[in-house]
Amino acid sequence: MSGATTPAEQAAPPLYWQVQRRRNGDLFGLFAVVVVFLAAYGFLFPGFFTLPGFAKFTQSWFPLALVAMAQAILMLTGGISLAIGAMVSLGAVIAATTMAGPLGVGGGTAVVALAGLGIGAATGLIVVKLRLPAIVVTLAGSFIVGGAALLILPRPGGAVPMWLSDMLAGNTPVAFLILVVIVVLWKIYLATPLGLAIYAAGENPVGAYRSGIRVDRVLVSAYAISGLLSACAGLFVAAQTGSGDPVIGTAFTLNSIAAAVLGGIGFLGGQGSMRGALAGSLLLSLMISVMFFLGFTPVAQYVAQGLIIIGAVAIPQFRRKR
């Protein structure tokens, strides 16, 4: 079903827009909720409509958006990662230990990106070649990656150059622009053979294999991209806080899954779209900000968050089955 949509992007425009409309239609409810929350946020925090206010808001969303994408690409292939949080921590500590040293910002970014790609690809190879379930491999992987982060920086410390923090987490919406670039890159990737096959490999791996798709290669590159995105989220978090912390990413594992599922990505692979995952992450991020501004106690925040996630996932299920 979804596999047929992407060739359409290259061929006939009418079909392309039909497909786009259907994809957006599936997510109409979610988009509506996001708009309501955005309005509530703008009402509670009028500074939202100024440039610095918008920049600050997108910065609080940015890392969650990246990990939601990292999780979504895996879930589209029928996999999952429980090591996202550990990868974020690793990205943060690598950034905080390399950037202030002789490697500089460029070298540090390259090391973060290589670590993300390399660990992601290794995870993918283990899942694919050794035929181990992704959930268990990434569970074990979270210990290995988390341990590596602890080795690099046993306690919070290190430093990220001030100008980088100012650029990424200052008063200009650079983070938002980077996100736009990433989304455009994702669109381009979806038009390549490797990206095109993600849905096919996720929905029916055997069928995809028999149709001549190199399923193994598709999966490994999806894991590599996922690792890259998570490590880059770590870099951003390090820039935000100005230093590294070996356990700063822990919460991202669960939040990435929650965001992807809120965005309509299915656990079985091949269901959902990246715009949904992004909207899901935006909703989660808005929810946390709005509750903060309303002065919810942490307890009420936890309770409300739990209820909203269950509600948001359960209600569409009900509508579909009846």
Partner 1 sequence: MNSSTSAASFTRRASMVLRSRPFLTFATVLLVWAVASVMRPGFGAFGHLRYLVELASVIGLVAAGQTFVVIAGGIDLSIAAIVTVSAVSLPLLSIDADPTGLTAILATLVMTTFIGLGNGLGVAYLRVHPMIMTLAMATFLQGLLIIIAGGSAISSQNPLVAWLGNARPAGIPAGVFVWLGVSALVLLIMHATPLGTRIYAIGANPLASRLSGVPLQATTTVVYAISGFTAGLAGVLLLGMNGQGYVGIGDPYLLASIAAVVLGGTSILGGLGTYAGTMPGALLLVTITALITVVNASAGWRSILFGSLVLILLLLSGREKVRR
Rounded Cα distance, 37 and 71, in Å? 23
Nearer to partner 1, 9 or 216 (CB): 216
> DSSP readout, 180-233?
HHHHHHHHHHHHSHHHHHHHHHHH-HHHHHHTT--HHHHHHHHHHHHHHHHHHH
Encoded one letter per residue, x for contact with partner 1 by CB under 8 A and - for no contact, window 107-136 reads -------------------x---xxxx-xx
294 contributes a contact to partner 1 by CB under 8 A? no
Rounded Cα distance, 317 and 255, in Å? 21
183 contributes a contact to partner 1 by CB under 8 A? no
CB 76 within 8 A of CB 197: no
319 contributes a contact to partner 1 by CB under 8 A? no
11 contributes a contact to partner 1 by CB under 8 A? no
The tokens for 147 are: 């341990």
137 contributes a contact to partner 1 by CB under 8 A? yes
Rounded Cα distance, 230 and 89, in Å? 9
Nearer to partner 1, 105 or 231 (CB): 231
Which region, judged by CB under 8 A, interacts with partner 1, from 23-31, 180-188, 226-234, 250-258? Answer: 250-258
263 contributes a contact to partner 1 by CB under 8 A? no
Which residues are paired to 157 by β-bridges? 244
CB 249 within 8 A of CB 228: no
Residue with tokens 């999952």: 80
Nearer to partner 1, 68 or 145 (CB): 145
Q: Among 17, 43, 163, 267, which residue interacts with partner 1 (rule: CB under 8 A)?
A: 267
28 contributes a contact to partner 1 by CB under 8 A? no
Burial class of residue 139 in the structure, from the number of CB atoms within 10 Å of its CB (0-12 exposed, 13-18 middle, 19+ buried) = middle
Q: Among 28, 102, 321, 322, which residue interacts with partner 1 (rule: CB under 8 A)?
A: 321
Q: Among 2, 171, 241, 305, which residue interacts with partner 1 (rule: CB under 8 A)?
A: 305
- Ramachandran category for residue 297: left, alpha or beta (phi over 0 → left; psi -120 to 50 → alpha): beta
207 contributes a contact to partner 1 by CB under 8 A? no
30 contributes a contact to partner 1 by CB under 8 A? no
Q: Count residues contacting partner 1 (CB under 8 A)?
A: 48
Subset of 143-172 contacting partner 1 (CB under 8 A): 143-152, 154
CB 171 within 8 A of CB 51: yes
The tokens for 294 are: 């309303």
CB 263 within 8 A of CB 72: yes
227 contributes a contact to partner 1 by CB under 8 A? no
Rounded Cα distance, 290 and 300, in Å? 12
Q: Among 163, 254, 293, 294, which residue interacts with partner 1 (rule: CB under 8 A)?
A: 254
Q: Which residues bind partner 1 (CB under 8 A)?
A: 126, 130-133, 135-137, 139-152, 154, 205-206, 209-210, 254, 257-258, 261, 267, 298-303, 305-307, 309-310, 313-314, 317-318, 321
